[in-house]
Structure 1
Amino acid sequence: MTIWKYLKDHWLLLIGWLFFIGVTCFILWLSPDMVVNPSVIGYLVLLQGLFLLLFLAIDYSLKKRWWRSLDISEHPPSLELYLEEASKTEEKLVQNYINGLLIEHQQTMQQAINNQQDQKDYIDSWVHEIKVPLAAVNLILQSIEDDIPEKKYYLVENELSKIDEYVEQVLYYARLDSFSRDYLIQEYSLKEIVQSVIRTQGNYFIQKNLRFSIEGNDQMVLTDAKWVAFIFKQLVSNAIKYTPAGGEITVTLSRTKEGACLSLKDNGIGIPKEDQHRIFDKGFTGENGRTSEQHSTGLGLYLAKSLADKLGHQLTMESVEGEGTTMKLLFPFLSYFNERR
C-alpha cells in the first residue's frame, strides 16, 4: 500500500485532528483573561502536526510489513502460505480468519484429490475386470460361429466391438489427468500405426462396403504409439459412422515445413458449419449425432483433441456439409517448436 492510499484510509483521523486544532484555537480566543500571541498558536499547531506525522509514520511502517505479507504480487498464491506477520489485535483476527480458510480449503482439496484417485482406481479396476467377460463372450461367439447365421454372428461381433470401444474410452478418459505418468515417446512409423488401427476396424469397412486407401510416403514421428493409435481410432470410427455405404475413406501421409501430417478424409455427410467450432467439446454430439441412427457419446473427438494437445500434436478439422470431412493430425518437428517459442 502506498502512502497516499494509507492517508486516504485515515481521512477521518486527519479531519479529527483539524477539528481538534480549530476547537483549541477557538477556546483560546474566547478566553478573556488570556492574551495569546499568534506565534504561540502557530508553534502549537506545528508541534501537534509534527506529533501527528510521527504517529502516522510509525503506524505506516508497522503496518507495511503486514501489508507486504498480504501482497500476492510478492508471494505467489499458495494454500500452504500461512500469514504470520500480525502484531495488532485487529491484524491477528484477520490472520486467524484467513489461516482458518486456508486450512479448510486444504482439507477440502485433499479430500477431493483422494476421492478423484479412488474413482480413478475403481474405473481402472472396472475396465480390467469387464474385459474378462468380454473376452469370454468373444471366445464363445467364435465357438458357435458355424451354428448361427452369418448375419447374426457379425451383428453380435459388432456390438461386442462397440462395447469394447466404449470401455476403452472410459479408461482413457480416466487417465487424462495422469497422462504424464503413462507415456513413452519414441520414433514410430506412422503408416504402421495407421494399418494396425484399420485392421481392428476391418469388419465395419466390409459391412458398409467402404473403400480405404493410404496415400503418400511413410513418415517417422516422435510420439507415443498407444495414445496416437487411440486418437486415430476415434477419427476412423467417426469417419465410418458418418460415411454412407459404398463411400471412401482416404489416409494421406505427408511432410510440411511444420512437421509430419496425417490426414483422414471421408466423403460422408459432413459437419454443419454451425457445429464445427464445437466438435471437440466434451459431450457435444451436434446435429449429426442427434439425427443419425448411429449413437454418439460426444467423447471420442474430445478425447482425441485432449490427448493430441498433451502429446504436443495439433488436431484440426475441415468439413463441408454434404461433401465430407478431413481430420488432420500434425506432428511438429522439434525445430518448429523452438521457432514458435
Structure 2
Amino acid sequence: MSLYGYIKDKRFFVIFYLLIITFVSIILYTNIDQHAWSVILYTYISCLVFACMYIAVGYYYRKKFYQSLRELTEHPHDVLVSLLPESQNENQRLFVNVIKNIVQDHTHQLQKLQEEKKEHQEYILSWIHEIKLPIAASKLLLEHSEDKSKEWLDDHLEDELGKIEDYVEQALYYSRIDTFNKDYFITEVHVGQIVKNTVKKYAKLFINKGIHFHMENSELTVQSDKKWLGFVLDQLMANALKYTDVGGNISVSFEEDSNEKRVRLHDDGIGIKSEDIDRVFDRGFTGTTGRNHTKSTGMGLYLAKKLANKLEYELTIESEEGVYTTAVIHVPKVRNYYRL
C-alpha cells in the first residue's frame, strides 16, 4: 500500500481536520487582537505537524498488514487462510473474516466439484465396462448362430438389446440428476398405471423366470412427475426381478394414512444380508448378494434413491436374507414443489 493510497483512505480525516481548523480560525479571528496572530500561526503549524505525524505513523503501522495481504496473491488459494495476517483493528478483523469465509466456501465448492467429477468419471468407466458385455454377447451370438433358428437368435439378441437399453436409460437419468428442476412436470398420477407399464416393460423376464405378479388396490394417485416416478419404479422392479428365483413372486400394494401414501414392492427372493441393508443405496455398492448371484453395477438403487429424494419422497428397504425384500416409496401428503 503506497503513502498516497493511505492518505487517500484518510481523506475524511483530512477534510475533518481542515474544517476544524477553519472553524477555530473564524472564532479566533473575530475574538482576538492582531498581536496574537504569531501565537495562532504557531498553533496551526504545530497542529499540522501533529496531524502529519499521525498519518505517517499510522501509515507505517498499517503498511505491514496491507503488504502481507498483497503477498498472499502469490500463494495458492488452499493456503490463504493460514497465511492471513493478524488484524490490527476492528475493520481489519471484519475484512479478514470475510476473506476467510470466502476462501473456505470456495475450497468447499472446489472439493465438491472434484468429488462429483471423480464420481462421474468412475461411473462412466463402470458404465462402459458393463455395456460392453451385452455388445460382446451379441457378437458371439451372431458368430455362433449357424446352427440356430432365426427365432432363437432374435430372442437372444432382443435380450441383449434390452440390457443395452437399460444401461443407456440409466446413464441418461444419471446425467439429468443435477438439472432435475428443469425437466419435471407435476400432475395427478395414477401409480397403478405406471406399475403396469413397468411390468409390461419387463414382461419377457417375468415369463422367462416364471415369476408371478400381483397388484392390490391399483387406484392410488399421487402428485408426481410421471416419467421420473416411472424410472424409480423401473429400477425397483428390475432389482426385484434380478434377485427373485425362478417361480418366485413379486407384488405391489398401496397404503395410505393421514401423513403419507406408500407404494410397497415386495418379492420373495434371496433377500439382503443385515450388514448390507444400510448401504444398498450407496453409489456402486453391490453387496454380497450382487457379487455372488449376478453381475450388478450398484447404480439402480442409487439412482432410484436420488430421484426419489428429488421428488421429495422417501425410499426405504426392508429385507430378511433368504426370505423377502420390500422396497417402500413414501409420498408425503403435504409438499412444496417450489423447493425442488
**Could you tell me how far 1:113 is from its partner in structure 2?**
6.8
Cα separation, 1, equivalents of 2:170 and 2:330 = 22
Cα separation, 1, equivalents of 2:210 and 2:153 = 18
Give the TM-score taking structure 1 as reference length.
0.58
Partner of 1:242: 243
Paired residues in the alignment total 231
Cα separation, 1, equivalents of 2:334 and 2:99 = 45
- % identical aligned pairs: 38
**For the structure 1 residues 274 and 111, does the alpha-carbon distance in structure 2 shift closer, same or farther, using more than 3 Å as the test?**
closer
**For the structure 1 residues 158 and 94, does the alpha-carbon distance in structure 2 shift closer, same or farther, using more than 3 Å as the test?**
same
**Could you tell me how far 1:238 is from its partner in structure 2?**
0.5
Cα separation, 2, equivalents of 1:87 and 1:277 = 48
**For the structure 1 residues 177 and 267, does the alpha-carbon distance in structure 2 shift closer, same or farther, using more than 3 Å as the test?**
same
Contact 1:239 1:249 in 2 (8 A): yes
Partner of 1:40: none
**Could you tell me how far 1:169 is from its partner in structure 2?**
1.0
Q: Deviations over 1:41-89 (max 9, x none)?
A: xxxxxxxxxxxxxxxxxx9xxx9xx9xxxxxxxxxxxxxxxxxxx9969
Partner of 1:307: 307
**Could you tell me how far 1:264 is from its partner in structure 2?**
0.7
Cα separation, 2, equivalents of 1:100 and 1:254 = 51
**Could you tell me how far 1:185 is from its partner in structure 2?**
1.0
**Could you tell me how far 1:259 is from its partner in structure 2?**
2.1
Question: Aligned with 2:275: secondary structure?
Answer: helix
Question: Aligned with 2:178: secondary structure?
Answer: coil
**Could you tell me how far 1:162 is from its partner in structure 2?**
0.9
**Could you tell me how far 1:106 is from its partner in structure 2?**
5.8
Partner of 1:322: 322
Partner of 1:193: 194
Cα separation, 1, equivalents of 2:97 and 2:251 = 63
Contact 1:191 1:218 in 2 (8 A): yes
**Could you tell me how far 1:174 is from its partner in structure 2?**
1.6
Give the TM-score taking structure 2 as reference length.
0.58
Cα separation, 1, equivalents of 2:104 and 2:255 = 54
**Could you tell me how far 1:109 is from its partner in structure 2?**
6.0
**Could you tell me how far 1:211 is from its partner in structure 2?**
0.9
Q: Structure 2, unaligned stretches of length 5 or more?
A: 1-57, 66-85, 143-147
Cα separation, 2, equivalents of 1:315 and 1:106 = 32
Contact 1:217 1:254 in 2 (8 A): no
**Could you tell me how far 1:201 is from its partner in structure 2?**
0.7
Structure 1 stretches of 4+ moved >4 Å: 86-89, 91-114
Give 1:1-341 correspondences, 5 Å limit: 148-292=149-293, 294-334=294-334
Q: Deviations over 1:188-213 (max 9, x none)?
A: 11111111111111111111111111
**For the structure 1 residues 149 and 276, does the alpha-carbon distance in structure 2 shift closer, same or farther, using more than 3 Å as the test?**
same
**Could you tell me how far 1:98 is from its partner in structure 2?**
8.1
Output the amino acid matched with 1:289.
Answer: G
**For the structure 1 residues 179 and 94, does the alpha-carbon distance in structure 2 shift closer, same or farther, using more than 3 Å as the test?**
same
Q: Deviations over 1:12-61 (max 9, x none)?
A: xxxxxxxxxxxxxxxxxxxxxxxxxxxxxxxxxxxxxxxxxxxxxxx9xx
Question: Aligned with 1:235: secondary structure?
Answer: helix
Cα separation, 2, equivalents of 1:108 and 1:254 = 42
Contact 1:278 1:284 in 2 (8 A): yes
Cα separation, 2, equivalents of 1:263 and 1:93 = 56
Cα separation, 1, equivalents of 2:97 and 2:289 = 53
Cα separation, 1, equivalents of 2:261 and 2:108 = 45
Q: Structure 1, unaligned stretches of length 5 or more?
A: 1-58, 67-85, 142-146
Contact 2:87 2:96 in 1 (8 A): no
**For the structure 1 residues 198 and 104, does the alpha-carbon distance in structure 2 shift closer, same or farther, using more than 3 Å as the test?**
same
**Could you tell me how far 1:103 is from its partner in structure 2?**
7.9
